[in-house]
Amino acid sequence: MARPSTSSTAARVKPAARRNALPGRLSPGMVCDTAFRIIARRHLAAVRAQHDGTCRGDPEALHQIRIALTHLRTAIRFFSPMVDDALRPEVWTELKWLNSQLGMVRDLDVAIERVIAESGGELTVIAELQHWDEKRAESHRQLARALQSARYRHLVAQTSAWIESGPWSTRRSKEAIRLRRCTLAGHATAKLTEWEKTLLKKARKLRKLDVEKRHKLRLLNKRLTYSIESLEDLFADESLTKQQSILKQLRKAQKSLGRLNDDARGQTLAASLNEAVPEAGIRFLNRKREKKLLRTASRAYRKLDKAKPFRSADLAPDAEPED
């Protein structure tokens, strides 16, 4: 059989090369399918970058891989319904599985840090922590096995392939084409406005929310925060200052809600790990601390509400689509 000529080989490779040669930065007039690939690639690369450190047991690498994974999952939500194809549920299930594998070890890291910080060197607490450390070591071994498994490797390969050329990218219906060709600024303005409204509406009832509903509010806050961070390329000059001000309030609320969530998780962990020491969970119950954190979060949401953050002029949604 004759070898293919250089020109015929180049013809076959060229389309893939074009797909891979994406711009380095986002721009307002960029179409949504290109923007999704850029953002999702960044976050999947960040997940992979923290893989080895997490396997070695580095708590900071574990923290960063969870952040990158949440960023990636947020990007998938942000570009829905454009990416809602037949493969998306499978990709989503596997990303959720990875998040659950990371979650237990991270929860233990946070709880152990809290106990150490408040122990004052008490011998009874040190003895109690030995059990927690053993559980952490066991959980990390399970996590390392998961990260070195065929399932994890398949997850990364499948997610990467789906980002680049999943069924969502080739559907020929008028609506599918419209969603892919919509400008990033147009889509971002609509989505950020929608998510902001939902967040602020639920935040007005913050003090009345139970632990579970407060956790859901925290996830909404995180979703909005991470989306704005992913779109940083679009903000410049006055818009950048405004964006940073908005992020400041969102991060304040996120920090307070995160600490409240850590307390609730720590209490649950203490109950499960210290059956012989029922009072261990009391360490994570502090009404004064809870009121202070709720007050800080409420104040941040009031300031965010007054800021009226997302307006069309900030992202120039009328920009022409870039080919």
User: Can you give the pLDDT at residue 214?
Assistant: 93
User: Can you give the pLDDT at residue 107?
Assistant: 84
With a CB cutoff of 8 Å and minimum separation 6, the contacts of 256 are 293, 294, 296, 297, 300
Over residues 235-244, the pLDDT tens digits come to 866 667 778 8
The first and second tokens of residue 82, run together, are 């454009």
User: Can you give the pLDDT at residue 239?
Assistant: 67
User: Can you give the pLDDT at residue 3?
Assistant: 39
Report which of 215, 207, 204, 203 is spatially closest to residue 260, judged by C-alpha positions: 215
User: Can you give the pLDDT at residue 317?
Assistant: 46
Report which of 166, 32, 158 is spatially closest to residue 95, judged by C-alpha positions: 158
User: Can you give the pLDDT at residue 4?
Assistant: 39
Beta bridge pairs of residue 30: 322
**DSSP-based three-state secondary structure for 21:** coil
Which segments in the chain show pLDDT lower than 70? Answer: 1-20, 118-128, 236-239, 271-285, 308-323
Q: What is this structure's pTM?
A: 0.84
With a CB cutoff of 8 Å and minimum separation 6, the contacts of 146 are 98, 101, 152
Give the separation between CA 69 and CA 56, rounded to whole angstroms: 18
User: Can you give the pLDDT at residue 20?
Assistant: 59
Report which of 42, 93, 79, 286 is spatially closest to residue 190, judged by C-alpha positions: 79
Neighbours of 310 (CB within 10 A): 22
Cα 56–Cα 68–Cα 98 angle in degrees, nearest 5: 65
> Helical H runs in the chain?
6-20, 32-49, 51-56, 59-78, 88-119, 123-147, 150-165, 174-181, 184-203, 211-230, 238-273, 287-307, 312-315
Mutual orientation of helices 88-119 and 238-273 as an angle, nearest 10°?
Answer: 70
Residue bearing tokens 């929310």:
209
